[in-house]
Structure 1
Amino acid sequence: MKTIYIKCILIIILLIQPILINAQSIRAIDSEKITSILESHFDKKNPGGAFAIIQKGKVTFKKTMGLANVEYQIPIADTTVFNIASNSKQMTSLLTLILQGEGKLSINDDIRDYLPELKELPYKVTIKQLMNHTHGLPNVDELAQIKGIKKMTYEEVITMLFNIRQFNFKPGNDYQYNNTGFVLLSKIITNVGEKTFQEQLKEKVFDPFGMDYSQAVDNYNQVIPHKAYSYTSIENNIINNSVKISTIGSSGVYASLNDLIVWAKNFTRKNSKYQKHFKRMQKETILNNNRVIEYGLGIQFENYKGIDIVFHGGGTEGYRSYILHAPKHDLSLIFLSNAGGLSGYEIIYDSLEILLKDNLINKKEPSYKGDLSSYEGIYELNASTYYNIWEEDNSLYFGTHGTSEKIMLPKTGKNVFDFVLPYSKLIFNEDSLDLRFLDFSFRAKKVDLPTIDNSNIDLTKYIGIYKNKDHNAIYELTIIDNKLIVKHTINGTFSLNIYSESMMNVINSYFGKIDFIFNSEGEVLGFNLSRQNLVGQFFEKKD
């Protein structure tokens, strides 16, 4: 069970004192319930959070709890600033649409027109595709990881992204949430505005809105006034967990609870001059195959138990943020934390259910009594993570491939099953399944994975040094105890599972799958490395 929790936390990047400020518009019992939800997650002696509710343009509930700085016992206030992580994307999107209105760019333009460093990309990518995650470019975090780099400045990140030459998929063919698109967009904004991204975000968004404490930060060593420090709790110890990779545009905005209240009011205010931009951001994305994605430009939307919601979460290191709107009810909820974990999701949605309990539609489908064997098979979540699904005694079971796990999946509908993680479920399609975890959906395709067998393979031909020239990443393949081993000076050593002469992988790791390429004489020329958010990165074998 523990391994599944660890694995899912690695796959996604996730969400997520007491002084009651104002609660006139919420019944006392509701205020007490919401307060108790907060107090079940935070206390005044540890890292904590900040939470606000805005109804019809008025703040009806606001609380802060816990410490912004544990070392000096500084409490969180409504002016304390948190790294809001991926919630920065909606602010970058608004700035982009403002610049489009000024005639400085069009979201339908080819990014190569603004970033000549990417002129060798084989496909056109539009600015809009950067904003809705359909660009197909590999993720910045995975690129840094295969290089073994744990700290990167903004300039270093941009340089790395300018070296991208390979796509995960052709632009517009799929949706794959990642950070690369918005980082590149921040550079485009800098180029067209002839000022830094930070300056333009301040001048065109933060200052007009009155978000006095907000700023975009591109240097993880920068001193930030009123900052909540980032922490993680490990074995009853509180550990500093600072941001190490600078990805402004995608992340990097520091904002206070009061500032995000102002943001939410502008988002929902019908007479705001920015309303046309906010509406454009909420337009659904349609892929080349006409599949509809409930993600617009830096923001998500869906129907939750009969309530139409617009939302986005953010998480980096120990920082968590969540902003949710229920437009038809003129309701917004804001959560900030420096304590890590999944508390934000629970606080937001439990509060939503309290506030709109009379509007909820709790539709429960009858358990499925039919044949479950059609769901059996091996499902590839990414190039290093496979699930086994099988039917036994009219129940469906789950296990991570390569392990002895056997977990029964409770049935909730014809093709929907509860998963072992909180706020998660598996939804089976004709030849795939969707893992719904919090508000993210990850598609796993049914695959034919051959049996692991290296008994008749000459391992010596794989020995050597392999280099990816685009990103200067180097790995060594060697043999230890009759096993083929991958070695990296920083990332460590891994044993390869061998399925065939050409296909091998390391299950449940950062490394993923490698597909070897041979010449006509059967000699190894190199391999393509694939993993989550990274497909087909070529490593040449060096003599």
Structure 2
Amino acid sequence: MAMRLPPVLVLLALACPRTAAPGAAQATSADTGVAAHIDRFIADSLGAVPFSGTIAMSRGGELVFSRGYGLAHREEDVPVTPRTRFLIGSVTKQMTAAAVLMLQDRGRLNVHDPICRHLSRCSAAWGPVTIHHLLTHTSGIPDIFALGFGATRAMPRTHDQLVDIFLAEPLGFAPGSRFQYSNSAYILLGEIVERAGGRPYASFIRDSIFAPAGMASTGFWDNAAVVKHLATGYVVRDGTHRRGPYEDRTTVTAEGNSTYSTGEDLVSWMRILHRGHLLSPGSLRAMLAPHVVRDGDGPRAGQGYGYGWYVHQELGRPVYSHPGIIPGYWSYVAYFPNDDVAIAVLSNSSPNLAPVIRAAASAVFGTSRPGVGR
């Protein structure tokens, strides 16, 4: 488990001037002060394993920072640039949720429909489960990774074969009674989008989200495709970089197994979504409402969850955020609605991106308390 950065170290990082991190690509920045703060944090604060990835940030609809750090391909010393693509994992869930709400706006479904109305196969145990329960991780359907999927994720599987892993499992709790993160739920949402939308999930997302948001560098990786500027994913063990474990991507799934993007594209996604260009006002409000509070004792305990977004406070401000993890890749997006600030951080070797998000937010807000919050 990655160590949490002490607040005092973050404060020192933003207070002590240094040069930019080695390997940093040319910045796109309308605010040199923001760039200097972020560069100092990256150079000074991330210890024995330097940050490798990209950071992009917009404010008021304008891109104010976009820069790459470290190496996209360590074997050939290829640097990360703002054009570098990374797998984004569960950040895809908010796009899946937006697709569901678009279909609701078009009258093709309702989030309070029972899921069995929209699936080709449905367990008898899922009778009381609604689309809303899937979106909010309150369905009780066990997470596929809790059923051994992680050990066999390199095996090619169809959508039906993935569903078979959890189809016969009993619910872990009564739907709606608690929060329990479930990738299985979002795999099912992908099928619901396909059936209600009348076309494959990936096609629907490309046309309904990527295209209107101008996300030209975002897509789905299917193992065999050659994706230009896609970073290699690494894990760090005992201070040494190794290639991340292989995961089969024969089937594109809606929880985020194969989506790749850039920091700038993700900032564009947040801008168009939160400015109300994709969803009706009612659907956007529903997406961002804290329908359930995450319990337990993890780093997100006590935070609300909407449809594909955590809803909480950071630096004394409301924020919507979500992390993503794929073997060798880590991502984190955050949108501060009161300030119209969107931040995306993507990495191919750094598992703890929350301090980077806080440092970037602190720089743009001009606060001296970047370690506050979670």
Aligned partner of residue 117 in structure 1, secondary structure = coil
Q: Is the 8 A contact 1:20 1:61 kept in 2?
A: no
Aligned partner of residue 323 in structure 1, secondary structure = strand
Q: Deviations over 1:102-148 (max 9, x none)?
A: 222221111111224214225411111111100011111121349x5
Matches within 5 A, 1:272-311: 272-274=277-279, 276=281, 277-286=283-292, 294-311=304-321
- Aligned counterpart, 1:163: 167
Is 1:229 equivalent to 2:235 in the alignment?
no
> Residue 206 of structure 1: CA displacement?
0.6
Quote the Cα distance in structure 2 between the aligned partners of 1:361 and 1:253: 30
> Residue 356 of structure 1: CA displacement?
2.4
Q: Deviations over 1:71-90 (max 9, x none)?
A: 23322222221111110000
Q: Is the 8 A contact 1:47 1:69 kept in 2?
A: no
- Aligned counterpart, 1:111: 115
Quote the Cα distance in structure 2 between the aligned partners of 1:360 and 1:72: 38
- Aligned counterpart, 2:19: none
- Aligned counterpart, 2:139: 135
Change in 2 beyond 3 A, CA 1:83/1:243: farther
Is 1:349 equivalent to 2:358 in the alignment?
yes
Q: Is the 8 A contact 1:317 1:340 kept in 2?
A: no
Change in 2 beyond 3 A, CA 1:335/1:131: same
Q: Is there any run of 5+ residues in structure 1 with no aligned partner, and where?
A: 9-16, 364-422, 424-438, 440-543
Quote the Cα distance in structure 2 between the aligned partners of 1:257 and 1:351: 13
Aligned partner of residue 194 in structure 2, secondary structure = helix
Change in 2 beyond 3 A, CA 1:7/1:211: closer
Aligned partner of residue 121 in structure 1, secondary structure = helix
CA RMSD in angstroms comes to 3.0
Is 1:337 equivalent to 2:347 in the alignment?
yes
Change in 2 beyond 3 A, CA 1:108/1:170: same
Q: Is the 8 A contact 1:139 1:179 kept in 2?
A: yes
Quote the Cα distance in structure 2 between the aligned partners of 1:79 and 1:275: 32
The structure showing larger relative contact order (alpha-carbon pairs under 8 Å, at least 6 residues apart) is 2
Q: Is the 8 A contact 1:52 1:62 kept in 2?
A: yes
Select 1:182's aligned residue among 183, 186, 194.
186
Quote the Cα distance in structure 1 between the aligned partners of 2:203 and 2:24: 34
- Aligned counterpart, 2:78: 74
> Residue 154 of structure 1: CA displacement?
4.7
Aligned partner of residue 323 in structure 2, secondary structure = strand
Change in 2 beyond 3 A, CA 1:361/1:324: closer
Quote the Cα distance in structure 2 between the aligned partners of 1:281 and 1:47: 32
Matches within 5 A, 1:83-122: 83-121=87-125
> Residue 178 of structure 1: CA displacement?
2.2
- Give runs of ≥4 in structure 1 deviating > 6 Å: 359-363
Change in 2 beyond 3 A, CA 1:273/1:233: closer
Structure of greater Rg: 1
Quote the Cα distance in structure 1 between the aligned partners of 2:46 and 2:223: 26
Q: Is the 8 A contact 2:334 2:344 kept in 1?
A: yes
Change in 2 beyond 3 A, CA 1:47/1:22: closer
Select 1:266's aligned residue among 256, 261, 272.
272
Q: Is the 8 A contact 2:25 2:81 kept in 1?
A: no
Amino acid in structure 2 at the alignment position of 1:232: V
Higher helix fraction (1 or 2): 2
Change in 2 beyond 3 A, CA 1:361/1:334: closer
Amino acid in structure 1 at the alignment position of 2:156: T
Matches within 5 A, 1:77-476: 77-121=81-125, 123-145=127-149, 149-155=152-158, 157-161=161-165, 163-217=167-221, 219-244=222-247, 246=249, 248-251=253-256, 252-269=258-275, 272-274=277-279, 276=281, 277-286=283-292, 294-342=304-352, 344-358=353-367, 439=374
> Residue 180 of structure 1: CA displacement?
1.0
Quote the Cα distance in structure 1 between the aligned partners of 2:28 and 2:153: 43
Count of aligned pairs between the two proteins: 342
- Aligned counterpart, 1:540: none
Q: Percent identity at matched positions?
A: 23
Select 1:58's aligned residue among 57, 62, 67.
62
- Aligned counterpart, 2:15: none
Quote the Cα distance in structure 1 between the aligned partners of 2:38 and 2:92: 26
> Residue 357 of structure 1: CA displacement?
4.3
Change in 2 beyond 3 A, CA 1:351/1:210: closer
Change in 2 beyond 3 A, CA 1:280/1:46: same
TM-score for both structures, normalised by structure 1: 0.58
Quote the Cα distance in structure 2 between the aligned partners of 1:209 and 1:304: 26
Q: Is the 8 A contact 2:147 2:166 kept in 1?
A: no
Amino acid in structure 1 at the alignment position of 2:289: K
- Aligned counterpart, 1:394: none
Q: Is the 8 A contact 1:23 1:61 kept in 2?
A: yes
Q: Is there any run of 5+ residues in structure 2 with no aligned partner, and where?
A: 5-22, 294-301
Quote the Cα distance in structure 1 between the aligned partners of 2:57 and 2:341: 7
Aligned partner of residue 199 in structure 1, secondary structure = helix
Aligned partner of residue 100 in structure 1, secondary structure = helix
- Aligned counterpart, 2:296: none
